[in-house]
Amino acid sequence: MNLMKPLDFSIRPCSYNDIPAVMDVNETTLPENYPLFFYEQILEKYPKTFILAYNKDDPKQVIGYIMWRVERGLSSFGLQHVKKAHLVSLAVLHDYRRQGIANEILLESMKLIRDFKISEYVLEVRVSNSGAVKLYEDLHNFIKIRIIGHYYRDGEDAYYMAAKIQDNTKNQTSNQNLNGMTDMEIKQYFLDKNQGYILYNCPNCSSLHIKALTYSLAGTIDPDNSDSLLCADCNEEMTLLDIAAGKYNSFK
Ligand SMILES: CC(C)(COP(=O)(O)OP(=O)(O)OC[C@H]1O[C@@H](n2cnc3c(N)ncnc32)[C@H](O)[C@@H]1OP(=O)(O)O)[C@@H](O)C(=O)NCCC(=O)NCCS
């Protein structure tokens, strides 16, 4: 339980002078730390969405921060190549948690990063970090897309989570995720592009999913690989090994 008295906080964009205080918050709250130039680069490229929470009684006291970057890649929700906002880091000092600070800087930064014409938000979070997962899932419409094995330096797995710009993320079915294409159209899409993908059905809810045929699924998958993917519709866990072996592939 947090016994500190509620804090009168406000939020503002980070400035270069704030970076040492942001680094202090980062280093006291997270094992993922970064050199000064990394913060400077994020601030230079994404100044509006590098946001701080500060103590109104002492505006130099930084109590939380958020940083995003923008990247391109395959959508978590379909076949398109899209622009995504990637959450780089978010933290709030221990004594000031559960007062809505993370929620507020998330809301504001997610609104502002839309200026980059992104179509989805993505992030990685430790599988053990149930508080952060709840924050992303319950308040910001993120869903778990897959588990990334051994993502963190200490060996812990990450959930890769994503949220669409639209609010209807949670109601989409996998077939809509594939842009409403028929099986034949999907097959033709791959033939035309000569691309490697595998289609598989969730054994629990039968939703159709797609996975890029990366090196690990292209025949060289390590038999000890324990990575798994989660069904976006029902959270059923499927191992990469089983997917690669075609266990769930009912698409002909
Ligand atoms: C995760 C973190 C940023 C949340 O910050 P916060 O300011 O305490 O979060 P908020 O007060 O805005 O929480 C909003 C809601 O998220 C959920 N939530 C947040 N932290 C939670 C926790 N520890 N346990 C359960 N639910 C939690 C709750 O639903 C909460 O609403 P409620 O307090 O009314 O129940 C903070 O705990 C933190 O800095 N942790 C260490 C760094 C970290 O894990 N960063 C995320 C890396 S991906």
Domain ranges of the chain: 9-169, 174-244
Give me ligand 1 centre to Cα 209, in Å: 31
Ligand 1, atom 35, residue with closest C-alpha? 98
Q: Report whether 159 contacts 125 (CB < 8 A).
A: yes
Q: Is the C-beta atom of 106 inside 6 A of ligand 1?
A: no
Please check whether the domain covering 9-169 is classified as CATH 3.40.50.300.
Answer: no
Residue range 21-52, pLDDT digits in tens: 999 999 999 999 999 999 999 999 999 999 99
**Distinct helix (H) and strand (E) counts, the chain:** 8, 11
Residue range 142-176, pLDDT digits in tens: 999 999 999 999 999 999 999 998 643 333 333 33
Structure tokens given for 74: 């395959």
Residue 28 Ramachandran class (φ > 0 left, ψ -120 to 50 alpha, else beta): alpha
Instruction: Quote the pLDDT of residue 167.
Output: 44
Give me ligand 1 centre to Cα 224, in Å: 34
Helix axes 36-45 and 19-29, enclosed angle (nearest 10): 120
Q: Is the C-beta atom of 44 inside 6 A of ligand 1?
A: no
Give me ligand 1 centre to Cα 128, in Å: 13
